[in-house]
Amino acid sequence: MATSRMKWPKRIAKAISAVVMLYLTAALFGSIFPANQLWQSPDDGIELFIETNGLHTGIIMPIQSEVYDWSELVRPEHLSQPSDYGSHILVGWGHEGVYRNTEHWQDLRFQDAASAIFGSSDVLLHVYHLNYPQAYPHYRRSFKVTEAEYRSIIETIKLRFVRDETGHSIPSPGYGKYDLFYKSRGHYNAFYTCNSWTSDVLRQAGIRTGIWTPFQGGAMRWFLESGTEN
């Protein structure tokens, strides 16, 4: 009987290891196989960027363009210093606990990781203000989209904003003076992460990306370091 009891922890550990390996293998293949394989970036399209901080990814868009003005939802007065309002915004979506407490991997707390893995509807949009961003090989890569593709991206992101009774978005402080969190909707879990969301927004617009990208590398790999697409 004692020997049988001793085997259970080993069996559980093996089962957990098998699940983790299956998840990582699926993430690898999901990142390699493309959706919208025939997509091509237009030469004269609207320039956007995809960016990573090593943990979270997001999409950089101009605040004002002929297609849309993001000041409808992201107002200068939301910032502590309205003069810090940028020309572009970096927008990401994710688990509230992880987003607020984990700017970098080393900040990740067990309780936030557990909540994110098993699922939570406590989610936020993260909006960071930038001025005239440029592509950088390791963390920010540019691509161009058509007006129709950009409209799709805009509409998908807009639907994530929770609005108050007056129709305004609901901001709260971010990591510093250039960024904010906004109350959002959706459900975060191990199968739909912040990086899955980034690719999902692009995929719904018809842009080529991996079919499932829970990690930042899977989302970034579809955009070459030179700023041109695979």
* Residue 162 near residue 183 (C-beta atoms within 8 A): yes
Q: What pTM value is reported for the model?
A: 0.89
Cα Dmax for the chain: 73
**Beta partners for 127?**
91, 180
Phi, psi of 208 (to 5 degrees): -70, 130
pLDDT tens-digit readout, 154-211: 999 999 999 999 999 999 999 999 999 999 999 999 999 999 999 999 999 999 999 9
* Residue 95 near residue 214 (C-beta atoms within 8 A): no
**Beta partners for 87?**
none
* Residue 224 near residue 230 (C-beta atoms within 8 A): yes
Angle 214-215-220 from CA coordinates, rounded to 5°: 115
pLDDT tens-digit readout, 38-77: 999 998 999 999 999 988 999 999 999 999 999 999 999 9
User: How many CB atoms within 10 Å of residue 20?
Assistant: 10
pLDDT tens-digit readout, 101-144: 776 667 777 777 777 788 889 999 999 999 999 999 889 999 99
Does pLDDT of 3 surpass 60?
Answer: no
CA separation for the pair 44, 50 (Å, rounded): 18
